[in-house]
C-alpha cells in the first residue's frame, strides 16, 4: 500500500495571522506554501487581496499566486487540479507542502477530494438571470438561491453574481441543487494535519478594521483605479472581491470614500464570520487561539511539535 502524501493545512478568518505563522513553519520544516485563497491568483491585485510581500514570498517557495489576469476564468475545480498536482510534486521533492488560506470551499475540495460533476447548461436562462441581477440587484438573486439551495447560498457571498447565477442555472436545468454535485470523501487522501487559527471576535474585528485602513494607506484606491483604467469591467468575478467592489462606486463618484471604507470593513467582518462558520464544520481541524501575542511562541512550539511528531518522529527537528 502506497504511503499517503504529507499535507499541512493552515486555515482561519482573514487577518487572524495565517501568513506570519505559515512562513515561520514552512521555513522551519523545509516547506513550500500553496495559496488557498480564491483572489490571490490574480495579477495586478496585490493590496486588496493581502498578498505576502516580495520579501515574504522570498522566504520559502510559494505557489498559486499571481498566475492569471483579472479577466481570466478560474474555478474551484481548476484550483483543485493545480493544488493536488503541486502537493505531489512538493512531496516528491522531499519538501513539506503547506496549503494556506481562508477560502473554505477551495481548501476542502483538496483535503476531502470533492468531485465536481458536469451539468447541463442553458445560455438563454443564464442571460436572463444576469439581466435580472442588473435590474433588481445581485441580492435579489441571492435570496432566490437561498429559497432553492440554502446550503450553496450560505457559502456564496451575496455579491458573487457569477456563482449565484450558475447555482440557479444548475437547479433550473437539472432539478438538483449545486450542493448535490459536490460529493466529498469521508476521510482525506492525505497524511494530513489541519491547523485552524482563531481569535477573540472583537480583537479580530479591530484587526480587520486596521488592515483595511492600512490597505487604503498603501494605495488600494489607486490599485482599483488602475484596473478600471486598464479596461477590467466591474462585473468581473475578480472585481467583485472585497475591497474592489466597494471602491468602484467611489471612483465613479457615486459614494464618498468614507462610505466605501466603512462598507469594506463591514463586509470583511461579515466575511470573517462566514469563514469561521465554514471551518468549524471540519472535524479534523486543531484550533489555536491567537488572541494573546505573549502566547504566540507557545502556539508555534506546540504546532511545531505536532508536525515533527507526525511527519518526522523527532520532536527537535
CA dist 122 → 147, 166, 168 (Å): 20, 10, 11
Mean pLDDT is lowest, of 39-53, 265-279, 301-315, for 301-315
Domain ranges for the chain, please list them: 6-114+184-312, 123-182
CA dist 316 and 165 (Å) reads: 51
- Element (DSSP H or E) covering residue 31: strand 31-35
Sign of CA dihedral 235, 236, 242, 248: negative
Q: Beta strands 62-63 and 31-35: pairing type?
A: parallel
Place of cell 506554501: 33
CATH fold group of domain 123-182: Histone, subunit A (1.10.20)
Is the per-residue pLDDT at 56 higher than 80? yes
pLDDT in tens, 117-161: 555 577 788 878 887 887 788 888 999 999 988 888 988 888 888
Q: What torsion, rounded to 10 degrees, do the Cα atoms 16, 192, 77, 47 define?
A: 20
Residue 312's pLDDT band (boundaries 50, 70, 90)? confident
Domain spanning 6-114+184-312: CATH superfamily: P-loop containing nucleotide triphosphate hydrolases (3.40.50.300)
pLDDT in tens, 57-108: 999 999 999 999 999 988 888 899 999 999 999 999 999 999 999 998 889 9
Same-fold call for 6-114+184-312 versus 123-182: no
Amino acid at each position: 500500500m502506497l504511503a499517503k502524501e504529507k499535507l499541512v493545512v493552515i486555515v482561519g478568518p482573514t487577518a487572524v495571522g495565517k501568513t506570519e505563522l505559515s512562513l515561520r513553519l514552512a521555513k522551519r520544516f523545509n516547506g513550500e506554501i500553496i495559496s488557498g485563497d480564491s483572489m490571490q491568483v490574480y495579477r495586478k491585485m496585490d493590496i486588496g487581496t493581502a498578498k505576502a510581500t516580495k520579501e515574504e514570498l522570498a522566504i520559502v517557495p510559494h505557489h498559486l499566486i499571481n498566475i492569471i489576469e483579472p479577466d481570466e476564468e478560474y474555478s474551484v475545480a481548476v484550483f483543485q487540479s493545480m493544488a493536488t498536482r503541486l502537493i505531489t510534486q512538493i512531496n516528491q521533492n522531499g519538501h513539506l507542502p503547506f496549503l494556506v488560506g481562508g477560502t473554505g470551499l477551495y481548501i476542502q475540495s483538496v483535503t476531502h477530494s470533492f468531485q465536481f460533476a458536469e451539468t447541463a447548461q442553458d445560455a438563454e436562462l443564464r442571460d436572463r438571470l444576469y439581466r435580472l441581477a442588473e435590474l433588481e440587484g445581485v441580492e435579489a438573486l441571492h435570496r432566490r438561491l437561498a429559497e432553492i439551495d440554502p446550503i450553496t447560498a450560505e457559502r456564496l457571498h451575496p455579491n458573487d453574481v457569477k456563482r449565484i447565477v450558475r447555482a440557479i442555472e444548475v437547479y433550473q436545468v437539472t432539478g438538483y441543487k449545486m450542493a448535490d454535485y459536490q460529493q466529498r470523501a469521508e476521510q482525506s487522501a492525505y497524511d494530513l494535519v489541519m491547523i485552524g487559527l482563531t481569535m477573540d471576535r472583537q480583537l479580530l474585528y479591530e484587526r480587520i478594521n486596521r488592515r483595511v485602513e492600512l490597505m487604503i494607506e498603501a494605495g488600494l484606491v489607486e490599485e482599483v483605479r488602475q484596473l478600471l483604467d486598464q479596461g477590467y469591467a466591474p462585473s468581473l468575478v475578480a472585481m467583485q472581491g472585497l475591497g474592489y467592489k466597494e471602491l468602484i462606486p467611489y471612483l465613479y463618484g457615486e459614494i464618498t470614500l468614507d462610505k466605501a471604507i466603512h462598507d469594506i470593513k463591514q463586509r470583511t467582518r461579515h466575511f470573517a464570520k462566514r469563514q469561521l462558520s465554514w471551518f468549524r464544520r471540519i472535524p479534523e481541524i486543531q484550533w489555536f487561539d491567537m488572541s494573546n501575542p505573549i502566547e504566540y511562541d507557545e502556539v508555534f512550539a506546540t504546532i511545531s511539535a505536532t508536525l515533527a511528531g507526525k511527519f518526522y518522529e523527532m520532536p527537535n527537528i
